């Protein structure tokens, strides 16, 4: 009996050893106008999503992040990554060779993700989990690493051990 209580106490104290849940932090859904109808984040299950939140496409941090991503865009495309933008003030034109979808209500998307005013990048894994979020412009290689080592991949590797 004492051993059973000890095991239960240890399992409660160290939840990392417990079976992981499917999604730790579910990404809030958002929509965008697409042909022929409205599309949503939920429709992209199984694809990683890189979401850039900014005031407008002219914001310096947004432009710098888009330029960083352009450098290795083909590697992202090969992984089926989708790029989305949510603008809180002005939608404008995105000057990039990366095909971005633009969220229908950028201000609401920013609020749903708890984005601070200015720039935020959110990387959403294939399972819909928010794998990474920061207000800093990231090198493309870091974004690629997060997509490659998403929560779903890490969870599968933990199960294999």
Under the banding of pLDDT at 50, 70 and 90, the label for residue 36 is: low
* Domain spans in the chain, listed from the N-terminal domain onward: 22-160
Collapse the DSSP code of 6 into the 3-class scheme (helix H, G, I; strand E, B; otherwise coil) and give the result: helix
Whether omega before 36 lies within 30 degrees of 0, making that bond cis, reads: yes
Is pLDDT at 142 greater than 50 in this prediction? yes
Is pLDDT at 133 greater than 60 in this prediction? yes
Summary mean pLDDT of the chain = 84
Once rounded to an integer, what is the mean pLDDT over residues 99-107? 94
For residue 4, what pLDDT is reported?
45
Helical residues (DSSP H) of 14-150, grouped into ranges: 60-70, 73-78, 106-112, 140-148
Residue closest to 113 by CA, chosen among 49, 38, 43, 39: 49
For residue 16, what pLDDT is reported?
43
Segment 2-28, tens digit of pLDDT: 554 445 454 554 444 444 445 688 999
Segment 88-98, tens digit of pLDDT: 998 889 999 99
Per the document, the length of the chain is 161
Pick the CATH number of 22-160 from 3.10.580.10, 3.40.47.10, 3.40.30.10, 3.40.50.920: 3.40.30.10
């Amino acid at each position: 009996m004492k051993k059973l209580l000890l095991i239960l106490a240890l399992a409660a104290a160290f939840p990392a050893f417990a079976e992981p849940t499917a999604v730790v932090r579910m990404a809030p859904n958002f929509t965008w106008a697409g042909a022929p109808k409205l599309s949503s984040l939920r429709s992209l299950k199984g694809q990683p999503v890189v979401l850039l939140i900014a005031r407008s496409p002219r914001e310096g941090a947004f432009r710098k992040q888009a330029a960083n991503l352009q450098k290795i865009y083909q590697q992202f495309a090969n992984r089926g990554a989708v790029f989305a933008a949510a603008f809180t003030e002005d939608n404008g034109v995105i000057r990039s060779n990366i095909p971005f979808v633009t969220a229908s209500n950028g201000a609401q998307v920013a609020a749903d993700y708890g984005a601070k005013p200015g720039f935020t990048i959110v990387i959403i894994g294939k399972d819909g989990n928010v794998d990474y979020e920061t207000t800093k412009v990231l090198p493309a290689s870091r974004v690629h690493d997060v997509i490659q080592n998403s929560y779903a991949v890490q969870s599968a590797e933990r199960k294999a051990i």
